[in-house]
Structure 1
Amino acid sequence: MQSPLSFTHLIEFDIEPQKQQALVTALTEQTERLAREFPGFLSASIQASEDGRRVLNCLQWQTREAGEAAFRSVENGEENFWRLIQKHRAKAVTFGSFQVLRNIERSLDGALHCPWVNPAQRAIPEGDTHYQKR
Protein backbone atom coordinates (compact mmCIF):
# COMPACT_ATOMS: atom_id res chain seq x y z
CA MET A 1 0.00 0.00 0.00
CA GLN A 2 1.13 3.56 -0.69
CA SER A 3 2.12 5.93 2.07
CA PRO A 4 -0.91 7.89 3.28
CA LEU A 5 -0.96 11.67 2.88
CA SER A 6 -3.03 12.00 6.06
CA PHE A 7 -5.62 10.27 8.22
CA THR A 8 -9.35 11.01 8.48
CA HIS A 9 -12.06 10.24 11.04
CA LEU A 10 -15.62 10.36 9.73
CA ILE A 11 -18.38 10.33 12.33
CA GLU A 12 -22.02 10.35 11.21
CA PHE A 13 -24.82 11.08 13.67
CA ASP A 14 -28.44 10.09 13.09
CA ILE A 15 -30.60 12.52 15.10
CA GLU A 16 -34.01 14.21 15.31
CA PRO A 17 -34.19 17.34 13.14
CA GLN A 18 -34.85 19.64 16.12
CA LYS A 19 -31.51 18.52 17.64
CA GLN A 20 -29.39 19.12 14.54
CA GLN A 21 -28.34 22.74 15.16
CA ALA A 22 -27.43 22.10 18.82
CA LEU A 23 -25.29 19.13 17.79
CA VAL A 24 -23.56 21.18 15.07
CA THR A 25 -22.76 23.86 17.67
CA ALA A 26 -21.41 21.29 20.17
CA LEU A 27 -19.27 19.57 17.52
CA THR A 28 -17.93 22.94 16.36
CA GLU A 29 -16.83 23.82 19.89
CA GLN A 30 -15.29 20.38 20.43
CA THR A 31 -13.48 20.48 17.07
CA GLU A 32 -12.09 23.96 17.73
CA ARG A 33 -10.70 22.72 21.07
CA LEU A 34 -9.08 19.71 19.37
CA ALA A 35 -7.54 21.98 16.72
CA ARG A 36 -5.99 24.19 19.42
CA GLU A 37 -4.83 21.45 21.78
CA PHE A 38 -3.59 18.62 19.56
CA PRO A 39 -0.63 18.70 17.23
CA GLY A 40 -1.20 17.08 13.88
CA PHE A 41 -4.64 18.63 13.25
CA LEU A 42 -5.07 19.52 9.56
CA SER A 43 -8.73 20.35 8.97
CA ALA A 44 -12.31 19.58 9.86
CA SER A 45 -15.76 19.99 8.44
CA ILE A 46 -19.15 19.62 10.07
CA GLN A 47 -21.92 18.96 7.60
CA ALA A 48 -25.68 18.88 8.11
CA SER A 49 -28.13 17.00 5.90
CA GLU A 50 -30.91 19.01 4.32
CA ASP A 51 -33.58 16.86 5.99
CA GLY A 52 -32.14 17.65 9.45
CA ARG A 53 -31.63 13.99 10.37
CA ARG A 54 -27.87 13.59 9.96
CA VAL A 55 -24.69 15.38 10.90
CA LEU A 56 -21.30 14.40 9.51
CA ASN A 57 -18.10 15.35 11.33
CA CYS A 58 -14.94 14.93 9.24
CA LEU A 59 -11.59 15.43 11.02
CA GLN A 60 -8.31 15.22 9.15
CA TRP A 61 -4.97 14.58 10.90
CA GLN A 62 -1.35 14.38 9.77
CA THR A 63 -1.08 10.82 11.14
CA ARG A 64 -3.23 8.05 12.54
CA GLU A 65 -1.49 8.48 15.91
CA ALA A 66 -2.40 12.19 16.09
CA GLY A 67 -6.06 11.45 15.35
CA GLU A 68 -6.23 8.60 17.83
CA ALA A 69 -4.65 10.72 20.61
CA ALA A 70 -7.26 13.43 20.07
CA PHE A 71 -10.11 10.92 19.99
CA ARG A 72 -8.91 9.31 23.25
CA SER A 73 -9.08 12.72 24.93
CA VAL A 74 -12.63 13.21 23.65
CA GLU A 75 -13.66 9.77 24.92
CA ASN A 76 -12.35 10.44 28.43
CA GLY A 77 -12.52 14.23 28.81
CA GLU A 78 -14.83 16.41 30.83
CA GLU A 79 -17.13 17.01 27.84
CA ASN A 80 -16.73 13.47 26.62
CA PHE A 81 -17.98 12.10 23.36
CA TRP A 82 -20.45 9.63 24.90
CA ARG A 83 -22.15 12.40 26.91
CA LEU A 84 -22.39 14.45 23.73
CA ILE A 85 -24.19 11.55 22.03
CA GLN A 86 -26.59 11.16 24.96
CA LYS A 87 -27.22 14.91 25.34
CA HIS A 88 -28.22 15.27 21.70
CA ARG A 89 -30.11 11.95 21.68
CA ALA A 90 -28.34 10.49 18.67
CA LYS A 91 -30.23 7.41 17.48
CA ALA A 92 -27.13 6.00 15.81
CA VAL A 93 -23.49 6.96 15.39
CA THR A 94 -21.27 5.53 12.66
CA PHE A 95 -17.47 5.80 12.87
CA GLY A 96 -15.06 5.45 9.99
CA SER A 97 -11.28 5.80 9.80
CA PHE A 98 -9.52 6.30 6.49
CA GLN A 99 -6.04 6.86 5.12
CA VAL A 100 -5.97 9.67 2.58
CA LEU A 101 -4.08 8.45 -0.50
CA ARG A 102 -5.05 11.20 -2.97
CA ASN A 103 -6.07 14.77 -2.32
CA ILE A 104 -7.18 17.19 -5.04
CA GLU A 105 -7.81 20.81 -4.10
CA ARG A 106 -8.60 24.01 -5.97
CA SER A 107 -6.63 27.08 -4.89
CA LEU A 108 -8.00 30.62 -4.76
CA ASP A 109 -6.53 31.30 -8.22
CA GLY A 110 -8.49 28.36 -9.67
CA ALA A 111 -5.53 26.03 -10.11
CA LEU A 112 -5.73 22.40 -9.05
CA HIS A 113 -3.24 20.99 -6.57
CA CYS A 114 -2.79 17.24 -6.84
CA PRO A 115 0.00 15.88 -4.63
CA TRP A 116 0.61 12.45 -6.14
CA VAL A 117 2.30 9.90 -3.92
CA ASN A 118 4.37 8.59 -6.83
CA PRO A 119 5.11 11.46 -9.27
CA ALA A 120 7.02 9.17 -11.67
CA GLN A 121 3.80 7.27 -12.40
CA ARG A 122 2.23 10.39 -13.86
CA ALA A 123 5.37 11.87 -15.46
CA ILE A 124 5.21 14.79 -13.05
CA PRO A 125 8.53 16.31 -11.98
CA GLU A 126 9.39 15.60 -8.32
CA GLY A 127 7.73 18.16 -6.06
CA ASP A 128 5.49 19.58 -8.80
CA THR A 129 1.96 19.46 -7.43
CA HIS A 130 0.45 22.50 -9.12
CA TYR A 131 -1.67 22.26 -12.26
CA GLN A 132 -2.98 25.34 -14.03
CA LYS A 133 -6.63 25.69 -14.94
CA ARG A 134 -7.28 24.80 -18.59
Structure 2
Amino acid sequence: MQTPEKNRSFTQLIEFEIEPHQQPALVSALSRQTERLAQCNSGFLNASIQASEDGRRVLNYLQWQSREAGEAAFQSFESGEQDFWQLIRAHRAKTVTFGSFQVLHSLERSHDDALHCTLVP
Protein backbone atom coordinates (compact mmCIF):
# COMPACT_ATOMS: atom_id res chain seq x y z
CA MET A 1 0.00 0.00 0.00
CA GLN A 2 1.51 3.30 -1.07
CA THR A 3 1.48 6.47 0.98
CA PRO A 4 -0.34 9.24 -0.88
CA GLU A 5 2.07 11.71 -2.48
CA LYS A 6 0.67 14.61 -0.48
CA ASN A 7 1.75 12.86 2.76
CA ARG A 8 5.41 12.71 1.71
CA SER A 9 7.79 15.44 2.73
CA PHE A 10 9.14 17.63 -0.02
CA THR A 11 12.66 18.91 -0.61
CA GLN A 12 13.80 21.85 -2.68
CA LEU A 13 17.44 22.07 -3.77
CA ILE A 14 18.76 25.28 -5.27
CA GLU A 15 22.35 25.28 -6.49
CA PHE A 16 24.12 28.53 -7.32
CA GLU A 17 27.27 28.76 -9.40
CA ILE A 18 29.16 31.94 -8.51
CA GLU A 19 32.61 33.53 -8.39
CA PRO A 20 34.49 32.53 -5.22
CA HIS A 21 34.58 36.09 -3.84
CA GLN A 22 30.74 36.13 -3.92
CA GLN A 23 30.32 32.97 -1.84
CA PRO A 24 30.42 34.44 1.72
CA ALA A 25 27.89 37.17 0.88
CA LEU A 26 25.54 34.73 -0.86
CA VAL A 27 25.72 32.31 2.08
CA SER A 28 24.89 35.17 4.44
CA ALA A 29 21.96 36.38 2.32
CA LEU A 30 20.56 32.86 1.93
CA SER A 31 20.89 32.28 5.67
CA ARG A 32 18.79 35.37 6.43
CA GLN A 33 16.23 34.50 3.75
CA THR A 34 15.98 30.88 4.91
CA GLU A 35 15.37 32.00 8.52
CA ARG A 36 12.55 34.26 7.29
CA LEU A 37 11.04 31.41 5.28
CA ALA A 38 11.17 29.13 8.33
CA GLN A 39 9.52 31.71 10.57
CA CYS A 40 6.85 32.88 8.17
CA ASN A 41 5.74 29.67 6.46
CA SER A 42 4.00 26.71 7.98
CA GLY A 43 5.20 23.28 7.02
CA PHE A 44 8.92 24.02 7.41
CA LEU A 45 10.96 21.00 8.54
CA ASN A 46 14.64 21.89 8.09
CA ALA A 47 17.18 23.61 5.89
CA SER A 48 20.89 23.82 5.26
CA ILE A 49 23.16 26.02 3.22
CA GLN A 50 26.28 24.33 1.94
CA ALA A 51 29.34 25.90 0.32
CA SER A 52 31.75 24.09 -1.99
CA GLU A 53 35.38 24.05 -1.00
CA ASP A 54 36.42 25.71 -4.27
CA GLY A 55 34.12 28.68 -3.51
CA ARG A 56 32.21 28.35 -6.78
CA ARG A 57 28.96 26.75 -5.63
CA VAL A 58 26.37 27.17 -2.90
CA LEU A 59 23.60 24.66 -2.27
CA ASN A 60 20.42 25.68 -0.46
CA TYR A 61 18.50 22.64 0.87
CA LEU A 62 14.95 23.23 2.16
CA GLN A 63 12.64 20.51 3.42
CA TRP A 64 8.89 20.93 3.90
CA GLN A 65 6.05 18.79 5.22
CA SER A 66 4.39 18.82 1.80
CA ARG A 67 4.80 20.01 -1.77
CA GLU A 68 2.13 22.64 -1.16
CA ALA A 69 4.04 24.09 1.81
CA GLY A 70 7.27 24.23 -0.19
CA GLU A 71 5.66 25.86 -3.19
CA ALA A 72 3.89 28.45 -1.03
CA ALA A 73 7.17 29.29 0.69
CA PHE A 74 8.98 29.65 -2.62
CA GLN A 75 6.28 32.04 -3.85
CA SER A 76 6.89 34.19 -0.77
CA PHE A 77 10.65 33.94 -1.44
CA GLU A 78 10.08 35.28 -4.96
CA SER A 79 8.16 38.29 -3.70
CA GLY A 80 9.79 38.96 -0.31
CA GLU A 81 11.56 42.15 0.76
CA GLN A 82 14.63 41.00 -1.18
CA ASP A 83 13.06 38.83 -3.80
CA PHE A 84 14.80 35.74 -5.07
CA TRP A 85 15.67 37.20 -8.46
CA GLN A 86 17.28 40.24 -6.82
CA LEU A 87 19.36 37.87 -4.71
CA ILE A 88 20.58 36.11 -7.86
CA ARG A 89 21.50 39.39 -9.54
CA ALA A 90 23.13 40.89 -6.43
CA HIS A 91 25.49 37.93 -6.08
CA ARG A 92 26.05 37.57 -9.82
CA ALA A 93 25.13 33.92 -10.02
CA LYS A 94 26.32 32.42 -13.31
CA THR A 95 23.77 29.62 -13.14
CA VAL A 96 21.01 28.60 -10.75
CA THR A 97 19.70 25.05 -10.80
CA PHE A 98 16.41 24.11 -9.14
CA GLY A 99 15.39 20.64 -8.07
CA SER A 100 12.30 19.35 -6.28
CA PHE A 101 12.18 15.94 -4.65
CA GLN A 102 9.86 13.79 -2.57
CA VAL A 103 11.55 12.17 0.40
CA LEU A 104 11.23 8.39 0.23
CA HIS A 105 13.94 7.35 2.69
CA SER A 106 15.84 9.18 5.41
CA LEU A 107 18.46 8.19 7.95
CA GLU A 108 19.58 10.24 10.93
CA ARG A 109 21.49 9.83 14.15
CA SER A 110 19.62 10.74 17.34
CA HIS A 111 21.01 12.40 20.47
CA ASP A 112 21.50 8.93 22.02
CA ASP A 113 23.74 7.94 19.06
CA ALA A 114 21.17 5.54 17.57
CA LEU A 115 20.41 5.48 13.87
CA HIS A 116 16.80 6.07 12.86
CA CYS A 117 15.58 5.13 9.43
CA THR A 118 12.34 6.37 7.94
CA LEU A 119 11.09 4.67 4.83
CA VAL A 120 8.08 6.06 3.03
CA PRO A 121 6.33 3.26 1.13
Deviation at 1:110, TM superposition (A): 1.3
Report 1 or 2 for greater relative contact order, CA contacts < 8 Å, sequence distance ≥ 6.
2
Q: Once the two structures are superposed, what CA deviation does each residue of 1:9-67 show, in whole Å capped at 9, x if it has no partner?
A: 00000000000000000000000000000000000000000000000000000000000
- RMSD between aligned alpha carbons? 1.4
Give distance in 1, aligned partners of 2:14 and 2:120. 26
Counterparts in 2 of 1:102-121, with a 5 A limit? Answer: 102-118=105-121
More strand by share: 2
Give distance in 2, aligned partners of 1:45 and 1:17. 19
Q: Give me the TM-score of the superposition, normalised by structure 2.
A: 0.93
What one-letter code is carried by the residue in structure 1 that aligns with 2:50? Q
Deviation at 1:76, TM superposition (A): 1.7
Q: Match for residue 121 of structure 1?
A: none
Give distance in 1, aligned partners of 2:2 and 2:94. 36
Counterparts in 2 of 1:1-134, with a 5 A limit? Answer: 2-3=2-3, 5-118=8-121
Q: Give me the TM-score of the superposition, normalised by structure 1.
A: 0.84
Unaligned residue ranges in structure 2 (runs of 5+): none
What one-letter code is carried by the residue in structure 1 that aligns with 2:94? K
Find the residue that maps to 1:103 and give its secondary structure.
Answer: strand
Q: Highest CA radius of gyration, 1 or 2?
A: 1
Aligned residues of 2:23 and 2:57 also touching (Cα < 8 A): yes
Unaligned residue ranges in structure 1 (runs of 5+): 119-134
Identity %: 70
Q: Match for residue 124 of structure 1?
A: none
Aligned residues of 1:2 and 1:101 also touching (Cα < 8 A): no
Give the length in aligned residue pairs. Answer: 118
